[in-house]
Structure 1
Amino acid sequence: MFEAAELGHKISKAEYKTRAPLLREALLEAQYELKEQARFPVVILINGVDGAGKGETVNLLNEWMDPRLIDTHAFAEAGAEEALHPPMWRYWRALPAKGRIGILFGSWYTDPIHRQVAGKGDAARLNSQLDALVRFETMLAEEGVLLLKCWFHLSKQAQKQRLSELEQDPRTRWRVGERDWANLKQYGRFRAVAEQVLMRTSTGAAPWVVVDGEDERYRSLTVGQLLLDALRQRLAQALPSHALCAPLRPPLDGVRVLDRLQLLQPMSKADYGHELETLQGRLNALSRHPKLRERAVVLVFEGNDAAGKGGAIRRVTAALDARHYRVHPIAAPSEDELAQPYLWRFWRRLPKRGKFALFDRSWYGRVLVERVEGYAAEADWLRAYAEINDFEQQLHEAGTLVLKFWLAIDADEQLKRFQAREQTGFKRFKITPDDWRNREKWPQYAEAVHDMVERTSTPHAPWILVEANNKYYARIKVLRSICSAMEAQLG
């Protein structure tokens, strides 16, 4: 894959002086059109061998275009704050909004490649990581992101010469260190691993472009023209039409997962009080367990309107130190959130190790309310099942305990609670016209919940179905489930 970049591509000074100003002008014009349309973001990955001109290219793009509309991020080894989160957390936070360009100097490929070169990984783990990255990039493409992946290449001899030139010049000597020379000694292994990575992750949605880094003028025009062509092509396209999808089929006998639940479970107020005190004490002790410093806890609360999510959340937080948890009530996305891929706003709310995050509604809105109300196209909510499973798999692999609760009540119980809220002054704020309107779509929501549970209940993040007609029973089941899961994880 790298042979074509070793053909000695060159651009003369005269040709560069003719082409560069025209390219710069066209890039700036396309950048402003991108800002004006604000239909999609652009992400440019800058990876490759040391000394191949990656830094100079990043600087040049910021010089040729308006840097106020460019978000440039240089990724080194994960810092203390980043190490407390799943590995992809820092990259999600760096994604640009629609209408902007994000340049990622070093990217999600850097760590897998360097670990493999250093002998700290195995082939199976690397392939698993690469498969996950392909799915991630496919998701970005589906979300409308224009992703350009540039790999800057040099032959070993050219890299050695480049490092020597940089080291001999007092103005650039600081850019070459012992690590660069050590990496040169590993050139053969680095090249082999890099070629394997590029071949496996160059896809139709996000192909790699190998850039010959030996000639500065050739390199600069190549990257600039690549960006310009991609921008012009995307800006000229109409809004994408969504593909037709094979419909999900309901069970032939009409029986869904929630139909098997006995929604009214017995529990007296006296028993509830005793159990509540015991379980909250148990949870408080678990929240201070030394091993929790290496883990995070994510609790997801979904359910029918008026099913008691808020009450269950309050009984959980009452057992925790307020410094160690955050409750995230999820409503319709803001304008800033709509300018990003769907899961972006949830990645930003993930807890660090040792902390809890409680989501009052969550990323499942895409396959529930957005599906039923038509806010998401069928193709978008259908692919969301796999994207959510990937998201939760990453949390699990990073040591996060993910517990998902569906609080279920029947239609009669919901009606009673709606009417009680309307008649009680301090509860009236809880009932809205949307609640009554959603109730009219009970069958559609029931079908969506069935598909959600069936397609996203996994061994590492199973759905816990809570029979919630009796609020006392539901709260106790939630607390008991959390305690049992934490004890299993923490030992």
Structure 2
Amino acid sequence: MFEATKVGRSVSKTEYKAQQDELRTQLLEVQREIIGTDTPVVVIVSGVEAAGKGEVVNRLNEWLDTRGVQTFAFWERSDEERERPRYWRFWRTLPRRGEISILFGGWYLDPIEHRFQGLCDDAALDAELNRIVDFERMLTNDGALIVKFWFHLSEPDQKKRLKELSRDDRSRWKMLPEKSKFSEQYKLFEHVAERVIRHSDRGIAPWYLVEAEDKRYRDLTVGKTLLQAIRARLNQPVVTEPPTAADPLELPESASAQITLLDQMDLTRSLARDAYKAQLKRLQQEVNELTWEAYKQRRSTVLVFEGVDAGGKGGAIRRITAAVDARLYRTMSVAAPTDEEKGHHYLWRFWRHVPRAGHMIIYDRSWYGRVLVERIEGFASEAEWRRAYAEINEFEDELVENGAILLKFWLQVSEEEQLRRFKDREDTPYKRYKITDEDWRNREKWPQYKAAVNEMVARTSTEQAPWTLVEGDDKPYARIKVLQTVCDALRKALKDPKYKTSGGAVTRCGEHLPDKAE
């Protein structure tokens, strides 16, 4: 694979000077053009040691308008990053639509290093590369342009370059916090790199191999390649890649006449007032104790509340927050996305709020809006909400793999009970803020929402993240069921020996490994 990067290409000083100004002008032009589009540009810079990756990035920042460019290097993890899933740090660096992010190594850095060091085998590496391919497909389907550069040197050229750098006290290479020393086993590193590139070189996000022996040739090649990639995107719409496997679920397009999961719920279930008070006190005390134990074990908790309007989500949430120390939790009420949130993939605003190890977040509405309200109201295209099921499952898998305790609740009431609650809200001054015209409009689309919920549960109730359906006509019964479910799940999860680690379980190549100081 790398033979084409060892043929000795070069560019003279005169030729370089003649091309540089024109290339810079054209890059600035396409950068201005892309600002008004829905396309974020992600540039990944990787390769062998001493290939000049830092020099290339500095050159790009010189040629482009840096007001629309951000550069990120993924060296040692911060405390915040160690306490969250690995991809959290990458989601934070994704550019807004119309802007550019340059990532040193990106999501490839850790898998390459871990395989090179023998911390995982080829099968584990391939599994992580499959996740990377899915991640890049998801970003590309949402409009992102991903341009991946691999800079390569022959072994003699690398040794020569490293010798030169070692003599230069001003060399940035010598200032890096840690040098991986991949050069000491050149053949092994090249073998790992080839496996990574072959596995992840896809039409939606191809790798560009760049010969790095001659600096002028290297820099011009990168600039021209980036220019061509952005121009190609400006000249034609995104071509989305179909799923890698057939969808195993065949659900009817219109299920309004079908019996759904919601139809099978017994909404007559209730709980006597005295029994409710006694169980509420006991369960709230238990929730308090379990959340402190989760804090001690560094296990984060993610609670997702969805349901019909006036289904009792707020009341159930308040019974939980009344029991949990305020220092341990946050409640996020999800409304229409802000302009900043619209500028990113729809999951971005949820990734950024993933809690630190030991803490809890409660989502009042969540990422499932993509397959519910956005689907029904036409805010998302059919292609967008259909691929969201797999994207959501992957997101939740990453949370659970990192040690998060994830619980998802759907609160359901009958049409008659919902109507009664709507009228009660209109007649009660301090409840009127809860009822809006949108609630009445949603009620008119009850059959469509029922079909969408049925499909949502069927496609996203997984072994790692199952749905809990809560019968909500009787508020005391619903609240106790939610609390009991939370207690049972926390108690079971906190006894799981697999997660008796700091900051979650290490399950995949590239995942967080404890630092020597930990």
User: TM class, shorter-chain normalised?
Assistant: over 0.9
Contact 2:283 2:483 in 1 (8 A): yes
Rounded to whole Å, the distance in 2 between the matches of 1:348 and 1:83 is: 14
1:295 shift after superposition: 1.2
Corresponding residue number in structure 1 for 2:18: 18
Rounded to whole Å, the distance in 2 between the matches of 1:356 and 1:181 is: 36
Corresponding residue number in structure 2 for 1:192: 191
Matched, 1:349 2:353: yes
Matched, 1:361 2:361: no
Distance 1:463 1:202, change over 3 A: same
2:226 counterpart letter in structure 1: L
Rounded to whole Å, the distance in 2 between the matches of 1:178 and 1:468 is: 55
SS of the residue aligned with 1:8?
Answer: coil
The number of residues matched between the two structures is: 489
SS of the residue aligned with 1:138?
Answer: helix
1:293 counterpart letter in structure 2: Q
Structure 1 residues 130-279: aligned runs within 5 Å: 130-172=129-171, 175=174, 180=179, 182-237=181-236, 248-249=251-252, 254-279=258-283
Structure 1 residues 63-82: aligned runs within 5 Å: 63-82=62-81
Rounded to whole Å, the distance in 2 between the matches of 1:66 and 1:148 is: 18
Corresponding residue number in structure 2 for 1:323: 327
Matched-pair identity in %: 51
Rounded to whole Å, the distance in 1 between the matches of 2:256 and 2:426 is: 39
Rounded to whole Å, the distance in 2 between the matches of 1:173 and 1:449 is: 55
**Higher deviation after alignment, 283-292 or 312-321:** 283-292
Rounded to whole Å, the distance in 2 between the matches of 1:261 and 1:223 is: 59
2:190 counterpart letter in structure 1: R
Structure 1 residues 99-110: aligned runs within 5 Å: 99-110=98-109
Matched, 1:94 2:93: yes
Rounded to whole Å, the distance in 1 between the matches of 2:334 and 2:168 is: 55
SS of the residue aligned with 1:209?
Answer: strand
Would you identify which runs of 4 or more consecutive aligned residues in structure 1 move more than 6 Å?
239-243
Corresponding residue number in structure 1 for 2:430: 426
Corresponding residue number in structure 2 for 1:7: 7
1:192 shift after superposition: 0.8
Distance 1:281 1:203, change over 3 A: same
Structure 1 residues 402-417: aligned runs within 5 Å: 402-417=406-421
Corresponding residue number in structure 2 for 1:489: 493
Corresponding residue number in structure 2 for 1:471: 475
SS of the residue aligned with 1:87?
Answer: coil
SS of the residue aligned with 1:186?
Answer: helix
Corresponding residue number in structure 1 for 2:29: 29
Rounded to whole Å, the distance in 1 between the matches of 2:179 and 2:160 is: 12
Distance 1:416 1:179, change over 3 A: closer
Q: TM-score, normalised by structure 2?
A: 0.91
Rounded to whole Å, the distance in 1 between the matches of 2:403 and 2:110 is: 18
SS of the residue aligned with 1:127?
Answer: helix
1:205 counterpart letter in structure 2: I
Corresponding residue number in structure 1 for 2:45: 46
Rounded to whole Å, the distance in 2 between the matches of 1:50 and 1:356 is: 41
Contact 1:327 1:360 in 2 (8 A): yes
SS of the residue aligned with 1:97?
Answer: coil
Rounded to whole Å, the distance in 1 between the matches of 2:294 and 2:271 is: 34
1:438 shift after superposition: 0.3
Structure 1 residues 121-132: aligned runs within 5 Å: 121-132=120-131
Contact 1:279 1:479 in 2 (8 A): yes
Corresponding residue number in structure 2 for 1:305: 309
Distance 1:252 1:332, change over 3 A: closer
Contact 1:422 1:431 in 2 (8 A): yes
1:236 shift after superposition: 2.5
1:432 counterpart letter in structure 2: T
2:109 counterpart letter in structure 1: T
SS of the residue aligned with 1:45?
Answer: strand
Q: TM-score, normalised by structure 1?
A: 0.96
1:239 shift after superposition: 7.6
Which consecutive unaligned segments of at least 5 residues does structure 1 have? none
Contact 1:402 1:461 in 2 (8 A): yes
Deviations 1:70-129 (A, max 9, x none): 011111132211101100001000001011111011211100110111111122221111
Deviations 1:21-63 (A, max 9, x none): 110111011111222x232110000111110010000000000
1:291 shift after superposition: 6.5
SS of the residue aligned with 2:327?
Answer: helix
SS of the residue aligned with 1:375?
Answer: coil
Distance 1:23 1:471, change over 3 A: same
Contact 2:295 2:359 in 1 (8 A): no
Contact 2:204 2:241 in 1 (8 A): no
SS of the residue aligned with 1:264?
Answer: coil
1:141 counterpart letter in structure 2: T
1:240 shift after superposition: 7.1
2:478 counterpart letter in structure 1: A
Rounded to whole Å, the distance in 2 between the matches of 1:251 and 1:178 is: 58
Corresponding residue number in structure 2 for 1:117: 116
Rounded to whole Å, the distance in 2 between the matches of 1:476 and 1:292 is: 26
1:169 shift after superposition: 2.3
Rounded to whole Å, the distance in 2 between the matches of 1:173 and 1:29 is: 31
Matched, 1:447 2:446: no
